[in-house]
Amino acid sequence: MLEINQEQMVIANDIARDNFHQRVRDYVREKLPRETNNYDNTQLIELIKRQDKIAVEHDIKTELGIVQWVCLSLGLGEDFFQQDEIKNIFDPPGELPAETRLTLYIEHINAVEKNPNARIEDILLKHGYIVER
C-alpha cells in the first residue's frame, strides 16, 4: 500500500496551488489584457497570490470564486473589497454563501454597465432571494 506523509501532502498542495495561479494568470492575461498589461508575469502572479489569500479570508474557496475575485481586483483595484458597497455584501456573513453573494455582485456590476440606475435589490429579487412587498 502506498503511504503519503504530511510533508508530501504539503508539497503536492503547493504544486497544485502554483499551477492554479499560473492558470489564473494565463486566463486574466487573455480576458483582461488592458487590466494586466502593466504587470510582468511575476508581478501578476504575486497579485493573484495576494488576492487568493484575501478571497479565502472572505470565504471564497472555489477556483471559480477566486478567479472572479482576482478579476474584480484587476478591474476595481486590489482593495475593492474594502469599499463600503462590497463590505455590505460580505460583512457580516449572511445567509447566502459568500460565493453566491460574489456572483450576484458581479451580475449587479454588469447590470449597472447597461443601466446606471440598476439596483442590487433587483438582482436579488430576480433570483428569488428577496420578495416584493
The DSSP result for 17-39, as a single string, is: HHHHHHHHHHHHHHH-HHHHTT-
Same-domain status, 113 and 90: yes
Q: How many domains does the chain have?
A: 2
Q: Is the same domain home to 41 and 65? A: yes
Residues 90 and 105 in one domain: yes
Distances (CA, A) of 61 to 19, 50, 51, 68: 16, 14, 12, 11
Looking at residue 93, its pLDDT comes to 62
The verdict on 92 and 118 lying in the same domain is yes
Q: Are 61 and 69 in contact (CB under 8 A)?
A: no
* Domain with 40 in it: 1-76
Region for 130 from its dihedrals, namely left if φ exceeds 0, alpha if ψ lies in -120 to 50, beta otherwise = beta
Mean pLDDT by 10 residues, the chain (133 residues): 87 94 98 97 98 94 96 95 78 77 91 91 84 63
